[in-house]
Every structure is written in structure tokens, then in C-alpha cells.
Structure 1
């Protein structure tokens, strides 16, 4: 693992199957799934498709695309490829949300965390939790030392839950939020304990927004899509 977090683009797109989709036969659905997955796999270095419904009622699936960004043109090329992969199926898939950003080294730690989620590892945990995040103006007006002290407390609590890994995306200037926070975990109740423990930290005072929150279930991509094959 590199000592510092490399720059990568991570894009999370949330979709619902439309009423037109449910009018299709099993064979037609399977064909759409195969073509969609093939296009998505060609669009980025890594793609996963997660089940969200019935964990949440307003979204069916989550498509997570990760791309190694090494050139200035890479993000534009990824977005173009993603559109080419999904646009032919927009009659059957409606987009409800898109969250994205870039990974980069943290200003609060000198080395890369052992709890950092690796999108390219090929090893996924059963659950993924993702949400947009923004700090208050007062947070950024504080001294670097004051912020570091509060983040040290935050980091210390996180280390008490070593099984839970995190991916932090920076989306300043790109979307309405400043960050996209992603957790990967084996145990939902353990994750709830972590979130509860973080609620009474000093840094919590400076949270402006951390909703909507999405909880997704992992299956291999083809298996996730197959959940919607039966009429």
C-alpha cells in the first residue's frame, strides 16, 4: 500500500427501475442487464453494483465506479463513457442521485490509514454506507491546530472499530456537499455503535449536513441485477 492516498475518481450513481422495465420479459431484462454491465465495466477501472431496496424505499440499486485519475482529461472521459453505457437504458433506469469526488492524502494524518477502503482490492464487505457531508463556516475559520485536535479525537474513536473501513472523497466546488463519506463494514450494529460514539465528539458541533444516508448490500454485480429479473 502506498504511504499516501493516491488520487482516484469515485462515482456513486443511484437508480430505480422504471414501470417500463417491469413490462419486459425475463429474457429482455437479462439482455439489458448483460449489456448494461458490459458497458459499465468498459467505462471505468472498477465497477460494483449494490442492492439498496428494500433497505430504503426510494432507490433500487447503486452503481459504484472507480477510476484511477492520472491525467487532466480522465474525469471527462469517464463521465462520457458512463453516459454512453447508461443512456441506452434510461427508459428502464431512472437516476435519483449521483455523488462523486476524488480521493487525496489527508491533511490530518502523515501516513495512509490502515482502515482506508481500497476500491480496487477486489474484496468487498457485505455492507456499504454512503452519505454527502459538509462542515460549517466556523470550522474553516478555526486555526489548523484547533481542527487537528478535534480530528485526533475523531481518528482515535475510529481506530476502536478496526474492522470498519472508510473512503473519503473530496467534492469541493463540484457538488453541493464538500465530501462524500463511504464506509464498508461486516456488521450493521457495530457501525451504529461507531456513529453513536462520534456523535458526542467536539467536531460534531461543526457538522452542517450529513444526509441523505444510503445503506447498500453487496453482491457480485450480475447477482445484484438478477434480483430484478423475475417478473
Structure 2
């Protein structure tokens, strides 16, 4: 039987003073992060995204996935030992797990390793009234939501669950190549009955998919002279 996975969204914000360090020192810091990510990614999913130009309070997202929490913990311990992390804050951090959906037949036991240009991420919390509804009524309401989503086949959805693990109830991550298509989808979803039971679905992050090396280079505009 397939294993469920832990999913961790780690958002980093770099101190502007880091960009004033000597280029060689910044490059050494990047090399350390690249090494930690390459080691982790040998057997597990790790993806990098840049938020430079899309958010003012985060510069980089590292999305990591593993079948047990210890691997994610160890990765972040090693990451914290890099020189770059001494100059970084973590303004947002979301921990979740995968599980099968209650409302569709699609399995959600792991985050799909697709490589669209963009990832749109936000934490999500339902109202308590939602959980007071009869399960059959919740299923009925969600079918409209699901049908509407299927009208936008270029947008791929990854949902993970945080009940008891983190502050949010879900972490929702949509992948796509056209932000305009995602914008239209979200606007239409606001009209569904299920949206009446949304308590919180912000902050929202528009993340640009790229290699770890490119995402690090976007922090200061300087290249790392290694193959990542």
C-alpha cells in the first residue's frame, strides 16, 4: 500500500545586508545550501521556487517531502548550518501530510513531481460550521467545487492536510504555466457554495519554479560557479 508523505513548505527571507557581503563569501554560502539540497533530493522530493518580485516578505521557497518527519527535520538541521541561513528569517512555514481525498477518487498520497512554471500556495482553514454539516451534505457541496476546477485542466492541484500538525487545516498548492488562468479559476471558485465555509485562505504565494542554484542566484543576481 502506498505510503503517506509529510510535506514541508519553508519560506525564507534574506537580510538585505547579506547582499553587501563579499561575492566570494556569498558564493560559499550558496554552495552550502546547494550541497544540503542535493543530498536530501537524492532519495526524496525537493523543489525550489523564487518569490523575488512576487512577494515582499519572502524570497525563496523550499518544498520538501518525505515519508517520515525525521528526514525533514534532519534536512532543516543541515540547512541551518549553512552560512546563508545565518542571514535568513523564516517568515512562513507550513507542515502537512498527504491523504486520500474525502470528496474525489484521486489519491493524494504524495505531492506530484510536476514542473509547471508557477506554484500558487496558501494555507486554508474551514469554518467550524462546515464540520457540523452531515458528511453527505459536505460531499454534495464539494462536487460543484471539483467540477469547476476540472474546467481548468491546465491547473494541477496538490492538497495536503495539517490537522493537529500546524496552525492551518490544509495547505493548497496549485501548479500551472499561466497565472491568468489560475486567477480566473480562483475568481470563479469564490462563487461556489463551498466558499461560504472558508474561514481563512491567506497569505497567498505566487512562486516561480526553478533549480536550487537559480533560486539562490535570484537572491543577489550573482551566479554560483558549480553545477547544481
Query: Do they superpose with TM above 0.5?
Result: yes
Indicate the RMSD between aligned Cα atoms, in angstroms: 2.0
Q: 2:7 aligns with which of 2, 10, 19?
A: 10
Q: How far is 1:18 from its partner?
A: 1.3
Distance in 2 (CA, whole Å) between partners of 1:184 and 1:144 is: 29
Whether 2:78 is the aligned partner of 1:81: answer no
- Contact 2:11/2:59 (8 A) holds in 1: yes
**2:92 alignment partner in structure 1:** 97
**1:24 alignment partner in structure 2:** 21
Distance in 1 (CA, whole Å) between partners of 2:172 and 2:19 is: 33
CA distance change for structure 1 residues 192 and 130 in 2, over 3 Å: closer, same or farther? Answer: same
CA deviations on 1:92-113 (whole Å, 9 max, x unpaired) are 222111012011111112343x
Q: How far is 1:80 from its partner?
A: 2.8
Aligned residues: 219
Q: Unaligned 5+ residue runs, structure 1?
A: none
Stretch of structure 1 that moved more, 79-88 or 98-107:
79-88
**1:34 alignment partner in structure 2:** 31
Q: How far is 1:119 from its partner?
A: 4.0
Distance in 2 (CA, whole Å) between partners of 1:117 and 1:111 is: 9
Q: Report matched runs for 1:157-176 at 5 Å.
A: 157-176=148-167
Q: Unaligned 5+ residue runs, structure 2?
A: 223-228
**2:127 alignment partner in structure 1:** 136
Q: Secondary structure at the match of 1:177?
A: coil
- Contact 1:43/1:81 (8 A) holds in 2: yes
Stretch of structure 1 that moved more, 85-94 or 214-223:
85-94
CA distance change for structure 1 residues 57 and 183 in 2, over 3 Å: closer, same or farther? Answer: same
- Contact 2:98/2:110 (8 A) holds in 1: no
Task: Detail structure 1 runs of 4+ shifted over 6 Å in the superposition.
Answer: none
Distance in 1 (CA, whole Å) between partners of 2:153 and 2:115 is: 16
CA deviations on 1:6-62 (whole Å, 9 max, x unpaired) are 511111111111144123222221211111121133235122221102111111111
**1:48 alignment partner in structure 2:** 47
Q: Secondary structure at the match of 2:82?
A: helix
CA deviations on 1:161-219 (whole Å, 9 max, x unpaired) are 01100111100011111000000111011101100111011111100100111111111
Q: Secondary structure at the match of 2:189?
A: helix
Distance in 1 (CA, whole Å) between partners of 2:217 and 2:148 is: 39
